[in-house]
Structure 1
Amino acid sequence: MALGWQCVCIDSHDPDADARFWASALGWRRTFEDADEVVIEPAAGSPQDGVSPDILFLRVPEGKTVKNRLHLDLRPDDQAVEVARLEALGARRLDIGQGPEATWVVMSDPAGNEFCVLRPLTEQEKLSAS
């Protein structure tokens, strides 16, 4: 294949603060930063290192005003524990009409960017994926 996925770019009013939240949330590391952009990547030597796309936060003058056209879905081992941990980092739960039957939790980061925390994979799903 001649095309690879390098990074997800996120417009940011404050790249430093947004990178700090997401690096803490994901357990990632900063690999580049200047006044207008910050890059985070998976922890060195982790199973995601060199596999997961980087996240690049790019400074823009305006704040977030509407729903994201793209959002991240995160797959935890324990949904309730991770939702609580993310809330402690500054994320908040959102009700976008997902209903009580939803198996995911819709949240926003401190800048207001929406993301979802999915349910854990079942043992059968884990076996099927390997």
Structure 2
Amino acid sequence: MACRISELVLGCRDPQVLARFWCEVLDFVVLDSEGNEFFEIGPREGFGGPQPTIILSRRDEPEPGKTRLHIDVNATDRDQDAELERLLKLGARPADIGQSGDEPWHVLADPEGNEFCLLKARLNPL
């Protein structure tokens, strides 16, 4: 028997802003919230499905050091260039982590600066 990732938890200054951003990016919905202290977002079928939910938890002070975990995303209904354009319109911005420019992915940051990558391969939606 093995474990499965059920939730990812991200501390942030403004959970509502990040919930809105990541819901648009991933086509998720808000599953639960408590004021502006936390938002749980996930697929419409909710917790326990094939995709983990994301909990955005308010933290007034950032954690010391750089976040060691980041999210990779793949487009499901368009090519990488069209998805990049969509993500930038949603508020993502390019992030420079020393890449050469020849990588088949784009490094971006969400509205609070959390890095994530847009990979080239297009995946089938679940």
> What's the TM-score once normalised by structure 1's chain length?
0.82
Query: For residues 63-86 of structure 1, what are the alpha-carbon distances to aligned partners after superposition, in whole Å with 9 as ceiling and x for unaligned?
Result: 477532000001124111111101
Match of 1:53 in 2: 52
Given residue 20 of structure 2, which amino acid in structure 1 is its aligned partner?
R
Counterparts of 1:76 and 1:37, CA distance in 2: 27
Structure 1 segments unaligned to the other structure (5+ residues): none
Q: Which has the larger radius of gyration?
A: 1
Given residue 27 of structure 1, which amino acid in structure 2 is its aligned partner?
D
Match of 2:85 in 1: 84
Match of 1:101 in 2: 102
Match of 1:67 in 2: 66
Q: Contact between 1:14 and 1:59, CA under 8 Å: does it hold in 2?
A: yes
RMSD value over aligned CA atoms? 2.2
Give the fraction of aligned pairs with identical amino acids, expressed as a percent: 38
Spell out the pairing of 1:34-45 with structure 2 (5 A cutoff). 34-35=34-35, 36-44=37-45
Is the partner of 1:100 in helix, strand or coil? coil
Change (3 A) 1:107 1:33: same
Match of 1:119 in 2: 120
Counterparts of 1:3 and 1:75, CA distance in 2: 24
> What's the TM-score once normalised by structure 2's chain length?
0.85
Aligned residues: 120
Change (3 A) 1:85 1:64: farther
Counterparts of 1:117 and 1:25, CA distance in 2: 11
Given residue 72 of structure 1, which amino acid in structure 2 is its aligned partner?
I
Match of 1:20 in 2: 20
Deviation of the 1:120 alpha carbon: 1.7
Bigger shift: residues 24-33 or 61-70 = 61-70
Answer 1 or 2: which has greater helix percent.
1
Given residue 13 of structure 2, which amino acid in structure 1 is its aligned partner?
H
Bigger shift: residues 102-111 or 91-100 = 91-100
Given residue 16 of structure 2, which amino acid in structure 1 is its aligned partner?
D
Deviation of the 1:5 alpha carbon: 1.9
